[in-house]
Amino acid sequence: MVEKLRIGIAGLGTVGSEVVTMLQMRAGQLSGQSGRQIEIVGVCARDRTRMRPFTPGPWTWYDTPEALAVAPDVDIFVELIGGEDGPALNAVTLALQHGRHVVTANKALLARHGLELARLAEAGKVALAFEAAVAGGVPVIKMLREGLAGSQINRISGILNGTCNYILSKMETEGLSFADGLAEAQRLGYAEADPTFDIGGFDTAHKLALLTSLAFGTAVDRDAIHIEGIESITLADIRAAAALGFRVKLLGVAERNEHGIEQRVHPTMITHAAPLSQVMGVTNAVSIDADAHQRLTLIGPGAGGKATAAAVMADITDIARGNVPHPFAVPATSLTPGERVPMQAHRGGYYIRMFVEDRPGAFATIATRMAEHGISLESIMQRSGTEHFLGATCVPVVLITHATTEKLVRDALDAVLADGYVSERPQIFRIERE
Amino acid sequence: MVEKLRIGIAGLGTVGSEVVTMLQMRAGQLSGQSGRQIEIVGVCARDRTRMRPFTPGPWTWYDTPEALAVAPDVDIFVELIGGEDGPALNAVTLALQHGRHVVTANKALLARHGLELARLAEAGKVALAFEAAVAGGVPVIKMLREGLAGSQINRISGILNGTCNYILSKMETEGLSFADGLAEAQRLGYAEADPTFDIGGFDTAHKLALLTSLAFGTAVDRDAIHIEGIESITLADIRAAAALGFRVKLLGVAERNEHGIEQRVHPTMITHAAPLSQVMGVTNAVSIDADAHQRLTLIGPGAGGKATAAAVMADITDIARGNVPHPFAVPATSLTPGERVPMQAHRGGYYIRMFVEDRPGAFATIATRMAEHGISLESIMQRSGTEHFLGATCVPVVLITHATTEKLVRDALDAVLADGYVSERPQIFRIERE
């Protein structure tokens, strides 16, 4: 048995408390796996007096995360504070500069500062481990960084936000409206009072930025991601998709194409045969297409204190065993710059739903506009239900296109809008060949 | 850049050739990830002159795997010969005794000699890595050994044999008989001329033995596994299961119960909602239930040269990075003895299909026998189709039981058989709550 491994934990909320409990309960198992005794020596939390579900150990309380990060007896600094700047950034930076390993669940921090923090970690020959930052209970970071070493990855797609998937699942299985699905998610604590970060696709984008870097060897660049949320999805869309054999999912997708690495977060239609389409509720899932592996899919809990804490524990155990990989699989200096592939160049099939004025010529004009832009239609369907717009009766019409480009679809729809037959901007879902 | 890592490869069949090709093509990527240059220095194959899909490098040919295993310039010995004893065992043993790391895809070898080989590896402080031995393209070994460190695993279940899953999928989707499904699998090269090893459940059992050891910290013990194959499954069973909302899959299951770690391989019925039920064709999948993770499922290619070779590459990259974990996650000395939990104690629901003589009293007698043994029936159904037995007309009857024990089911069916109403031993599938 070599010397003890001493842990400092900043943040004792749900995840932090679970980490403390697991470290207390599984000391023996961990030292068996790693050959080192693991001990909490310091903690830091906003409120020391709050009731927490563990018995405090003989550790030192620190007033600030920064003080804990540089405490002389801390080997691993566990950052569970959150936030992309401020104390989390300061403390993690200090810890790495002082030669402490860092374990964090903070995707926002890494999506913004991942590259510079990885450089600091490598300079200090310490770990910057973040299994808990993406799909908490699904060890996808380790899978990409180590399990698929030697494979060339061509595409990665995932259901990375449990809140969105919960809302979309409820809409489909219980026929709720988006607003009611969101309210239910908020009632159960799956969504924040201000849900923008989740339903707007930003949380998914942060996670996708990390996965992209690991999968493609590019520097983390969240600004290179095209982002759309799920706010505009209606029950009618979900039902039209179902009638066509599809489900609507918010996916994060990164794929290699002739323009570079395309990164995008938006509602997609995927067939029922795709493993991701079967993932319902708050569960997360990631599919990875590698040359050698065809498709590999991981499905598991995306969040929750226990699952996220278990990911932190796996990172701690790795460090205890001396497994200190490059944070993004290859040296930070050899990561290639992220590049924003314009969404206009995206190629694929499209679902387009619009409300069309119910008078002769409307269908023909729309079909003509599509043909003029070289868009080939797989189907054109009138759905049930009518709306009224400027005194006219409108019916919902759904178009499914064969593979085309985003630019042609946008241009064709601009022409359709200019013709004046449709009552509002059409709804668009990209169809993914999952 | 530290010194080179020198590889010796024994066996240049499909997988071996792919490993050579990948090492040649991805030298740069690998040295980027590991910081070491990786080079093939020696190979060994039965036939040197055979055409192979790579350009031979400046390596040395060895006459025997044993000679390659102890060659003074080999750092990692890659064993791709196969076989649970003989040259594979001799060469791997020698390599470990001489301080070489070993990477192998040989599940039969490890299921039989895993414990003693792990001891040798630990004594020499070298790796015994076998990601390629289970579900080739699914990094489940790494997941169990490192990704779930810190979690307590309660159950693991998997579709671990692509041949069986292919046959069962074909029976369901195309209405083939078992014999025709097998013939099709043989025609496509998915099944051997003598398919016993696959369809009898033995291959699944070898893989399960390794997963059980990693998941539960028990010594590998393939003899502790209850094994049944898929040979007796009829199209009528598949159709009856489908009508009830189930699929029939050959699963390997290891779970912790009050008797110990129950290990079993047999046809099971699982609902369509279970991720494993969606896995069709030669694909493999593993579900892991851990306290912290609820359920984690991995789905991917089970075999194939490229997928298996990519697993070998991931092991080599790990060793290059200095990541040398205990082969079975904890020191071999601390693995607890495997114990055979008697199948008679197994508890769960049962599907029972039998041919019952079509005369008054038959149903009532069967129901009575079940009741006498305390077995509660969820349903009893007469299916279409008749058979003739000793001059009598028999109809297929399917019973679904509530949770009971294997012993009670066996005893009740013995009583039913003794009554003389049924024409052959009933077919039994255990129902899994996947």
Would you say residue A339 lies in a domain?
no
From B100, B133, B166, the end of a domain falls on B133
Would you say residue B333 lies in a domain?
no
User: Which pLDDT belongs to residue A434?
Assistant: 75
Q: Which of A253-262, A389-398, B24-33, B345-354 has the lowest mean pLDDT?
A: A389-398
The answer, for B317 touching chain A at a CB cutoff of 8 Å, is: yes
List chain B residues with CB under 8 Å of A322.
322-323
List chain B residues with CB under 8 Å of A313.
149-151
Shared domain check, B193 and B112 = no
List chain B residues with CB under 8 Å of A326.
33
B-proximal residues of A, 276-315, CB under 8 Å: 278, 290-301, 306-307, 309-310, 313-314
Among candidate residues B333, B357, B342, the one with its CA nearest the CA of residue B417:
B357
**A69 to chain B nearest CA, in Å?**
23
pLDDT in tens, A143-161: 999 988 778 899 999 999 9
B-proximal residues of A, 21-50, CB under 8 Å: 22, 26, 29-30, 32-34
**B299 to chain A nearest CA, in Å?**
5
This prediction's pTM: 0.92
**B319 to chain A nearest CA, in Å?**
10
Spatial distance between the Cα atoms of A20 and A74, rounded to a whole number of angstroms: 15
User: Which pLDDT belongs to residue A303?
Assistant: 80
List chain B residues with CB under 8 Å of A317.
146, 149-150
Shared domain check, A195 and A55 = no
Test the A interface: residue of B282, B293, B319, B335 with most A CBs within 10 Å: B293
A139 with B147: Cβ contact below 8 A: yes
pLDDT in tens, A261-286: 999 999 999 998 888 999 999 999 99
Spatial distance between the Cα atoms of A323 and A328, rounded to a whole number of angstroms: 14
User: Which pLDDT belongs to residue A373?
Assistant: 96
Spatial distance between the Cα atoms of A2 and A349, rounded to a whole number of angstroms: 58
Contacts of A340 (CB under 8 A, 6+ apart): A221, A223, A224, A263
Residue from the list B137, B148, B325 with its beta carbon closest to the beta carbon of A296: B137
Three-state DSSP class for residue A48 = coil
List chain A residues with CB under 8 Å of B18.
292
Average pLDDT of chain A to the nearest whole number = 92
Average pLDDT of chain B to the nearest whole number = 92
* A294-301/B294-301 β-pairing: antiparallel
Spatial distance between the Cα atoms of A167 and A150, rounded to a whole number of angstroms: 37
CB contact at 8 A, A19 and A2? no
From A301, A336, A357, the end of a domain falls on A301
Shared domain check, B421 and B348 = yes
User: Which pLDDT belongs to residue B254?
Assistant: 97
The answer, for A272 touching chain B at a CB cutoff of 8 Å, is: no
- Give the active site residues of B: 207
Shared domain check, B172 and B72 = no
A150 with B313: Cβ contact below 8 A: yes
From A65, A98, A133, the end of a domain falls on A133
Contacts of B49 (CB under 8 A, 6+ apart): none
Average pLDDT rounded to a whole number, residues B155-181: 97
Please report, for the domain that includes residue A89, its CATH number.
3.40.50.720
- Sequence-ordered strand ranges (E) for B69-165: 76-79, 101-104, 128-129, 153-159
Would you say residue A297 lies in a domain?
yes
Would you say residue A52 lies in a domain?
yes
Count of Cβ atoms closer than 10 Å to residue A176 Cβ: 18
Test the A interface: residue of B17, B134, B140, B317 with most A CBs within 10 Å: B317
pLDDT band at A336 (very low <50, low <70, confident <90, very high): very high
Q: Alpha carbon B40 to chain centroid distance?
A: 30
Shared domain check, A34 and A172 = no
Q: Which residue of B has its CA nearest to A20?
A: B150
A150 with B307: Cβ contact below 8 A: no
Average pLDDT rounded to a whole number, residues B23-33: 85
Would you say residue A220 lies in a domain?
yes
Shared domain check, A394 and A424 = yes
Shared domain check, B276 and B369 = no
pLDDT band at B362 (very low <50, low <70, confident <90, very high): confident
Count of Cβ atoms closer than 10 Å to residue A339 Cβ: 14
User: Which pLDDT belongs to residue B3?
Assistant: 85
Q: Which residue of B has its CA nearest to A294?
A: B301
User: Which pLDDT belongs to residue A149?
Assistant: 79
Among candidate residues A299, A287, A292, A253, the one with its CA nearest the CA of residue B301:
A292
List chain A residues with CB under 8 Å of B30.
149-150
* Confidence check: pLDDT of A327 > 80: yes
Test the B interface: residue of A293, A328, A330 with most B CBs within 10 Å: A293
Would you say residue A330 lies in a domain?
no
User: Which pLDDT belongs to residue B177?
Assistant: 96
B294 with A300: Cβ contact below 8 A: yes
* Confidence check: pLDDT of A307 > 70: yes
List chain A residues with CB under 8 Å of B33.
149, 325-326, 329-330
Count of Cβ atoms closer than 10 Å to residue A12 Cβ: 23
* Confidence check: pLDDT of A338 > 80: no
Spatial distance between the Cα atoms of A252 and A265, rounded to a whole number of angstroms: 4
Count of Cβ atoms closer than 10 Å to residue A242 Cβ: 13
The answer, for B93 touching chain A at a CB cutoff of 8 Å, is: no
Spatial distance between the Cα atoms of A272 and A247, rounded to a whole number of angstroms: 7
What is the token pair recorded at B391? 């001059």
**ipTM (interface predicted TM):** 0.89
Spatial distance between the Cα atoms of A407 and A350, rounded to a whole number of angstroms: 12
B290 with A298: Cβ contact below 8 A: no
Please report, for the domain that includes residue B180, its CATH number.
3.30.360.10
User: Which pLDDT belongs to residue A28?
Assistant: 83
Full residue range of the structural domain in which residue A377 is found: 344-431
Would you say residue A313 lies in a domain?
no
Spatial distance between the Cα atoms of A430 and A345, rounded to a whole number of angstroms: 13
Select, from the ranges A247-251, A417-421, A424-428, the one with the highest average predicted confidence (pLDDT).
A247-251
CB contact at 8 A, A398 and A339? no
Among candidate residues B362, B360, B346, B359, the one with its CA nearest the CA of residue B399:
B362
pLDDT band at B357 (very low <50, low <70, confident <90, very high): confident
* B60-61/B128-129 β-pairing: unpaired
pLDDT in tens, A344-394: 999 999 999 998 888 888 888 999 999 999 999 998 887 767 776 666 778
Shared domain check, A154 and A117 = no
pLDDT band at B389 (very low <50, low <70, confident <90, very high): low
- Sequence-ordered strand ranges (E) for B183-234: 226-227
Axis-axis angle for helices B27-34, B305-320 (nearest 10) = 40
Identify the DSSP state of B67: H
Shared domain check, B179 and B48 = no
List % helix, strand, coil for chain A (3-state, nearest 5).
40, 25, 35
Q: Which residue of A has its CA nearest to B286?
A: A298
List chain B residues with CB under 8 Å of A299.
275, 295-299
Test the A interface: residue of B2, B297, B306 with most A CBs within 10 Å: B297
What are residue A394's phi and psi, to 5 degrees? -120, 145
Count chain A–chain B contacts defined by CB atoms under 8 A: 175
Q: Alpha carbon A4 to chain centroid distance?
A: 35
Number of domains in chain A: 3
Spatial distance between the Cα atoms of A39 and B34, rounded to a whole number of angstroms: 30
* Confidence check: pLDDT of A1 > 60: no
Shared domain check, A156 and A73 = no
Shared domain check, A292 and A167 = yes
- Cα Rg, chain A, nearest whole Å: 24
- Give the active site residues of A: 207
List chain B residues with CB under 8 Å of A323.
146, 321-323, 325
Shared domain check, B285 and B372 = no
Would you say residue A139 lies in a domain?
no
- Cα Rg, chain B, nearest whole Å: 24
A314 with B150: Cβ contact below 8 A: yes
